[in-house]
Structure 1
């Protein structure tokens, strides 16, 4: 699963953009949650850049993939990463239904990362500047309760999103997985690879196994047009995973039918970033929030600010 080249890097060191790495770029003792919701695939396509990234279709629906990782041990310190992504394929034409799940390499199956807030400045500098990930610093938490695992994402004093999943009785299923992330940066499509393993507890098509709360921050408004199903098709929790982020990545120019009018985010967004490992303050708990009682559904938070 892990490329031989990555294994051969063990014991080597690198210094990229002022960030020191001990190779391979890995993480240890890291809990993570995941929830996958059906969405309107045609509307999801409108959120994807260029002409070669297409929504993965499970029958007639696309998939919204929420993954939150509480990195405990990494080369750049501890931080939380809150990934909001759409399952996708890569190619000149949309892929047929279902087959990309079986032939992932052939169809370039992965996820298009729509938003990727993290806890620390150094994670933004490395993730965006090197791999082109849409990282930015935000207020995040990761809470493991007796019955639920949850994470909340605030930005500019406003709620963006909160995800809760039912905590499985046991994480028993050993899983090794390679995943591809597609991101848009500098007018290019960036593809990076991650390999991870751990024991997973999960639920399939189980009503009430997740609750997704959408805030009113402007950055989340496009997701409200995706007709997100209140019932997840999959939820999971890893009490502990280990992972390797490949230092090899690919990129292509993003092509459009007409000349783009809006300048994409570029290197100016990372060139002056430092190596800070300090976290922003945690998000403020929502009113009537109860992590011990999970009510599934898609909720819209009505207040304009969680810090008011």
Structure 2
């Protein structure tokens, strides 16, 4: 999916939202990233959906798909930071989509991912991502480490281990990727959708060739993920040495609806971003080394 002409037309112009200055388009260049997919329990995933318009994608054996995407944003409009996405593959509509088709007909089924947790390295990324696009960002201690044979990313918060992903580094990264992705999130008790476009080359491993390791800690932001019964072996891994992405300035939102008048619902709202600054500083790098006990 190519970048919309509307975005290309304002290249080089400027914007300012919530005191954050942007040179348009909002983009990132030469940023390594990994994306890893695991099978998990469908009914457990369904229980995490807000409202009634999002539905987990159903694949092998009636399983849902848990997604881990970590991007080391090295050159962006708001400085460098790491973004660590934990999400479920979903469709949007009145009813669930048939198995497998959402991957082939993404526009038809409005395929995307519902973000469960989205830690980032810098406060300015929280302020912009949550305050403008409704993404559930919060600042945490993160890393993204590339070695000769492995790519790993660890997530800690409040001096507590939260999550770690490792994949075996593919030897070749020459598969062309040109795709648009939809991120759904829950903010102000509304369903939010934002759009990003990536162009890069990647190394992809599928099925038995996909190798990686998953660790889920006991931090409150991630402990609940253990209930998803995520399988220990990924069914695909993707490594992108130099991803280039553009975040769309257009986003959408819808009311979360209920069969009857709901009790008071208190998801995060604007109060969680009002007092945030434009700080680009990071927390110290993750330092916990006894994560093996959290291996799935």
TM-score bracket, shorter-length normalisation:
over 0.9
TM-score (norm 1): 0.92
CA spacing shift, 1:222–1:171, aligned 2, 3 Å: same
- The structural deviation recorded for 1:207 is 5.7
148, 169, 172: which one aligns with 1:170: 172
Deviations 1:238-276, CA, capped at 9 Å, x for gaps: 000110000000000111234043312110000110000
User: Aligned runs of 1:269-288 on 2, under 5 Å?
Assistant: 269-287=272-290
In the alignment, which residue of structure 2 is the partner of 1:306? none
253, 256, 260: which one aligns with 2:255: 253
Tell me, in whole angstroms, the C-alpha distance in 2 between the residues paired with 1:86 and 1:223: 11
In the alignment, which residue of structure 1 is the partner of 2:44? 43
Tell me, in whole angstroms, the C-alpha distance in 2 between the residues paired with 1:87 and 1:242: 22
In the alignment, which residue of structure 2 is the partner of 1:148? 150
- The structural deviation recorded for 1:146 is 1.0
- The structural deviation recorded for 1:285 is 3.8
Tell me, in whole angstroms, the C-alpha distance in 2 between the residues paired with 1:20 and 1:288: 39
Deviations 1:216-245, CA, capped at 9 Å, x for gaps: 112212211111111111001100011000
For 1:146, what is the secondary structure of its paired residue? Answer: coil
Root-mean-square deviation over aligned CA pairs: 1.5
Query: After the TM superposition, which parts of structure 1 deviate over 3 Å for at least 4 consecutive aligned residues?
Result: none
Tell me, in whole angstroms, the C-alpha distance in 2 between the residues paired with 1:206 and 1:14: 47
Deviations 1:182-225, CA, capped at 9 Å, x for gaps: 00000100000000111100110126710000111122122111
In the alignment, which residue of structure 2 is the partner of 1:65? 67
In the alignment, which residue of structure 2 is the partner of 1:7? 8
Tell me, in whole angstroms, the C-alpha distance in 2 between the residues paired with 1:287 and 1:248: 43
TM-score (norm 2): 0.96
266, 270, 275: which one aligns with 1:267: 270
Tell me, in whole angstroms, the C-alpha distance in 2 between the residues paired with 1:156 and 1:62: 30
- Residue correspondences, number: 293
CA spacing shift, 1:225–1:207, aligned 2, 3 Å: farther
In the alignment, which residue of structure 2 is the partner of 1:213? 215
User: Aligned runs of 1:221-236 on 2, under 5 Å?
Assistant: 221-236=223-238
Uncovered stretches (5+) of structure 2, i.e. residues with no partner: none
Deviations 1:76-125, CA, capped at 9 Å, x for gaps: 00000000000000011111111111111111100000000000000000
In the alignment, which residue of structure 2 is the partner of 1:296? none
> Is the 8 Å Cα contact of residues 36 and 63 (structure 1) preserved in structure 2?
yes
> Is the 8 Å Cα contact of residues 207 and 231 (structure 1) preserved in structure 2?
no
In the alignment, which residue of structure 2 is the partner of 1:133? 135
Deviations 1:135-192, CA, capped at 9 Å, x for gaps: 0000000000111000000011111100000101121101101000000000100000
CA spacing shift, 1:63–1:301, aligned 2, 3 Å: closer
For 1:225, what is the secondary structure of its paired residue? Answer: helix
Tell me, in whole angstroms, the C-alpha distance in 1 between the residues paired with 2:290 and 2:226: 22
Tell me, in whole angstroms, the C-alpha distance in 1 between the residues paired with 2:155 and 2:113: 20
